[in-house]
A = this chain, B = another copy of it.
Amino acid sequence: MYDKIITIGREFGSGGREIGEKLAKKLGVPCYDKEIVEQVAIESGLLKEEIEKKGEYLSASGKMSTIFTLYNLYSNMTKDDIIWHAQVKVINQLAEKGPCVIVGRCADYILRERNDVFNVFIYSDMDKRKERIAKLYPDIAPEKLIKEKDKKRAAYYQHFTEMEWGEARHYDICLNSGALGIDECVKVLSDL
């Protein structure tokens, strides 16, 4: 396989980010995740915290700060749209830089017209995800958080791509990290 860019879509709690990081390390290429947030902040003029919160989720309300209300008067764009457009620009720029792994953020869709992209989706069964999330966030009811995050990611993906999130047919490979284990997923992907 000669694809240069690997995108990883993932369910919350499936370990997709960890798989992305380990895979990138093994292949000796950068893994973009937090870096995207930083670049989108610079690009959009919004705060990192806000992009982290909204970068994969739609706003519940349309509330905006004064500067964005003014901006909106002229451009008719919501804050979600502004973040989305900055994200499209940043992800395309990162892809241009060379081989890499990009976690989340609809990168599969954003880069759909390139022919050097390999798209992965990582999912897992609820029990394994609950176990993982309970370790990471011990104070929160894991199942509720997982369902909420999945629902929001799915809505965000569908809103901007008009495709269904997690639908196997959009991806080149879909791995159940609960059944295979994180390291086996990394192995399968790096062997490809």
Residue of B with least CB distance to A3: B179
Taking the complex as formed, is A166 at the interface, i.e. its CB lies under 8 A from any CB of chain B? yes
Interface centre among A167, A174, A187 (most CB of B within 10 A): A174
B176 touches A172 (CB 8 A): yes
Which residues of B have CB within 8 Å of A188?
A: 173, 188, 191-192
Taking the complex as formed, is A180 at the interface, i.e. its CB lies under 8 A from any CB of chain B? yes
A158-187 CB mask vs B (1 if < 8 Å, else 0) is: 000000001111011111100110001001
Which residues of B have CB within 8 Å of A1?
A: 180, 184
Total interface residues in chain A, CB < 8 Å:
22
Q: Report how far A60 CA is from B143 CA in the complex, Å.
A: 41
Least distance between A123 CB and chain B CB atoms (Å): 6
| Majority SS at the chain A contact face | mixed
A176 touches B180 (CB 8 A): no
- Contact partner of A191 among B118, B171, B191, CB < 8 A? B191
Which residues of B have CB within 8 Å of A118?
A: 179
B171 touches A176 (CB 8 A): yes
Q: Report how far A168 CA is from B122 CA in the complex, Å.
A: 10
Which residues of B have CB within 8 Å of A123?
A: 168-169
Q: Report how far A94 CA is from B171 CA in the complex, Å.
A: 32
Taking the complex as formed, is A121 at the interface, i.e. its CB lies under 8 A from any CB of chain B? yes
| 5 A-B pairs whose Cβ atoms sit less than 8 Å apart in the complex | A123-B168, A123-B169, A168-B168, A172-B179, A173-B176
Top 7 A-B pairs ranked by shortest CB distance? A174-B174, A168-B168, A172-B179, A168-B174, A172-B176, A173-B175, A123-B169
